[in-house]
Chains A and B, each alone.
Chain A
Amino acid sequence: GAVVSQHPSWVICKSGTSVKIECRSLDFQATTMFWYRQFPKQSLMLMATSNEGSKATYEQGVEKDKFLINHASLTLSTLTVTSAHPEDSSFYICSARDNNLGGRGNEQFFGPGTRLTVL
């Protein structure tokens, strides 16, 4: 149980295009999902907290108009990188928190990541 998927696993796009990344909780419901970015050989940095049915909470320094987050259902959050540029090339990882407050309820389960390369 507690599986999180991401799609696509990798994407290459031209500068100026927009890219959408999906994060799905496959066997549990997640009111809260998190989006992280990881540059090569660096740590994971939280970009934003995605809340189902409400606006995402962005970390300081993250442009909300550039990284659009939509959390329309309890199993799906999407991150859209708008007008992507080479500096947006990174590894994007999502995680989801199980709504079940018992047992594993407070853990974050991570997706496999999406590698974005902007040419």
Chain B
Amino acid sequence: AQKVTQAQTEISVVEKEDVTLDCVYETRDTTYYLFWYKQPPSGELVFLIRRNSFDEQNEISGRYSWNFQKSTSSFNFTITASQVVDSAVYFCALSDTRPNTGFQKLVFGTGTRLLVSP
């Protein structure tokens, strides 16, 4: 069965610190997608990134960067120079895919609550 583990329940940092959110996944599929979502207090999920299992290149988008390592089944997310607006719950998710039908479903981790104080 697919599983996503986010071992860090809550992280508190001071503004401008760098912070890394860990995500470890389990799947028997060779083709899968990994996602990160941000959920601010308003509740709406904000899509951050999607990465397929064949693309292990790290990605950087502004202050955000992602490190995908299949060897350790991890897809970690780093925020550089954190800001108060980064405070939210961050979810890592895993989805498998079936030929010609797209995604089956998303399995979410338990989330990491990030608190960035001024």
Contacts and interface: CB of A to CB of B under 8 A. Distances in A.
Interface of A: 32, 34, 41-46, 49, 91, 93, 95, 97, 101, 105-113, 115
Interface of B: 33, 37, 42-45, 47, 50, 91, 95, 97, 102-103, 105-111, 113
Nearest to A6: B44
Contacts of A97: 102-103
B103 A106 contact: yes
Q: Is the interface of A mostly helix, strand, loop or mixed?
A: strand
A44 B109 CA distance: 8
A112 B43 contact: yes
Nearest to A113: B43
Given A91-B43, A107-B50, A113-B43, A43 B105 contact: no
In this complex, the member of A43, A45, A46, A49 whose beta carbon has the largest number of chain B beta carbons within 10 angstroms is: A43
B109 A43 contact: yes
25 contacts: A34-B106, A41-B113, A42-B111, A43-B91, A43-B108, A44-B45, A44-B106, A44-B108, A45-B108, A46-B105, A46-B106, A93-B43, A95-B106, A97-B103, A106-B97, A107-B50, A108-B106, A109-B47, A110-B37, A110-B44, A110-B47, A111-B44, A112-B42, A113-B43, A113-B44
